[in-house]
Amino acid sequence: MPTSHQHRHDVVVVGARAAGSATALLLARMGHDVAVLERAQFPSDTLSTHSVSRSGVVQLSRWGLIDQVLASGAPAVRQVTFHVGGESVTRQVKQHAGVDLLVAPRRRVLDAIVADAAQAAGADIRFGITVTGLRHDDGRVVGVTARDSAGAALELDSRFVVGADGLRSRVARSVGAAIDVAGHSHGATHYAYYVGPAWHGHEFFVADGTFAGVFPTNDGEACIWVCSPTDHADRIRRSAASLDGAFDDMLAAAAPELAGRLRWASRTSPVRGARHLPNQVRQAFGPGWALVGDAGYHRDAITGHGISDAFRDAELLAVALDGALRGELYEIAALAGYQRQRNEAIREIFGITCGLADFPPVAEFVALQKRLSRAIEAEAAALAARPVPGRRQLAVA
């Protein structure tokens, strides 16, 4: 028999990575009773490279977490180099929106830092718990059913359930959240970790039909990645003996100079990859529920912006839920406001992402990268100008 908790949480969040832990952190700091259910155990990695763009760094800085991220050994990235057609242009990361660095911490590091901060703020985070369904009353979501790693069933009651459970969100499927915007899904990203040479900040290699790069990360390693259309990656995969061999071939074709440098490096991980990455925007809320992060908005990895999207939307949602929970706003007005703000915030970069994932000719690809960079700078400035939710509790901690 499921054990039903008599206690009714303000919010149950499903998923404890970028979107879920950030939402819980801010809600807890604003004084709400939040439970987070995560089926994985932390610390653990997930299928993702992990460059945090300036807007994501602004969020980590505003929430008081950037020092911990840097203390983990994730290097402060202060220069970015673009290699195009045999020419290289290096730019220093300037001070803007209150930050002067980029960073690419391993997900096992970043997600644990945000989850620990949420726990320290009072959120009840439970790992090894899989949400199996939603509970309804009179058309409204009123909680979740779940099971622990030993198979024991449990139920939690809440005023709101937040689906921060990623692309294949069970919450989104259970409520039948509509996909409001659907782009194509032909992009693929493959990556692996290397140790050996000195890394010189982020590097990007643009070639016809491919985009590759270097993100220096924890433990002296770098994440080396290649984005391409899925059919291109599949062709190379079919002609190679293994995924590792295919990655070598992808890299040699996309960035021969980098592949040459890596001959003196050791690969420290298996190659991982994702194919047919969707570009889609889902309906973000309904009676008693809301979606945040990849569960609500997924884009190709080519812009490396998913973590930053999750951090931005976590704050938009937490502030909306705070208004509803305090009775300052009608629930529908609060959540419709969240959806509107999210959709406005994503519009430009979503369009650029779809454009880049089409792999236009190199000159057009570079022009889109320049637009992306300006859009991220504008987003970072807008986030930096917002009041920090739960700032008082942050000051006390």
Ligand X SMILES: Cc1cc2nc3c(=O)[nH]c(=O)nc-3n(C[C@H](O)[C@H](O)[C@H](O)COP(=O)(O)OP(=O)(O)OC[C@H]3O[C@@H](n4cnc5c(N)ncnc54)[C@H](O)[C@@H]3O)c2cc1C
Residues that bind ligand X (CB under 6 A): 14-15, 17-20, 37-40, 46-51, 130-131, 164-166, 170, 189, 274, 293-295, 301, 304-308, 310
User: Which tokens go with 361?
Assistant: 């000719």
Q: Is 390 buried (19+), middle (13-18) or exposed (0-12) by CB count in 10 A?
A: buried
Reduced to 3 states (helix: H, G, I; strand: E, B; else coil), residue 306 is helix
Residue with Cβ nearer ligand X (79 or 329): 79
Strands 153-163, 140-148: pairing is: antiparallel
Q: Return the closest-CA partner of residue 84 out of 389, 365, 395.
A: 365
Q: How far is the CB of 349 from ligand X (least distance, A)?
A: 11
Distance CA 325, CA 175 (A): 21
Sign of the alpha-carbon dihedral angle for 11, 16, 18, 24: positive
CB of 80 to ligand X, least distance (A): 13
**Closest to 290 measured CA to CA, from 259, 248, 348, 332:** 332
SS3 readout for 60-129 = HHHCCCHHHHHHCCCCCECEEEEEECCEEEEEECCCECCECCEECCCHHHHHHHHHHHHHHCCCEEEECE
* Shorter beta-carbon distance to ligand X: residue 141 or 301: 301
| Terminal C-alpha separation, the chain | 40
Whole-number minimum distance, CB 392 to ligand X, in Å? 26
**Residue 275 CB partners (closer than 8 Å, separation 6+):** 188, 230, 233, 234
Q: What's the closest the beta carbon of residue 86 comes to ligand X, in angstroms?
A: 26
287-322 burial: b if 16+ Cβ within 10 Å, else e: bbbbbbbbbbbbbbbbbbbbbbbbbbbbbbbbbbbb
Task: Calculate the CA dihedral of residues 34, 145, 288, 312 and round it to 10 degrees.
Answer: 50
Cβ at position 130, least distance to ligand X in Å: 4
Shortest Å distance, C-beta 311 to ligand X: 9
Residue with Cβ nearer ligand X (97 or 295): 295
Q: Whole-angstrom Cα distance, residue 88 to residue 115?
A: 39
Rounded to the nearest whole angstrom, what is the least distance from the CB of residue 328 to ligand X in the complex?
27
Q: Is 166 or 183 the residue whose CB approaches ligand X more closely?
A: 166
Nearer to ligand X, 47 or 178 (CB): 47
Residue closest to ligand X, measured at CB = 306
Q: Which residue number, 30 or 144, has a Cβ lying nearer to ligand X?
A: 144
> Shortest gap between Cβ of 326 and ligand X (angstroms)?
25
Closer to ligand X by CB, 295 or 345: give it.
295
CB nearer to ligand X: give 56 or 323: 56
Identify which of residues 253 and 317 has a Cβ nearer to ligand X in the complex. 317
Q: Residue 252: what residue type?
A: A
Q: The tokens of 100 are what? A: 């002067």
- CA 195/CA 118 separation, integer angstroms: 32
Nearer to ligand X among residue 148 and residue 329 (C-beta)? 148
Least separation, in Å, of the C-beta of 136 and ligand X? 17
CA dihedral for 375, 381, 386, 387, sign (positive or negative): positive
Smallest distance, Å, CB 161 to ligand X?
11
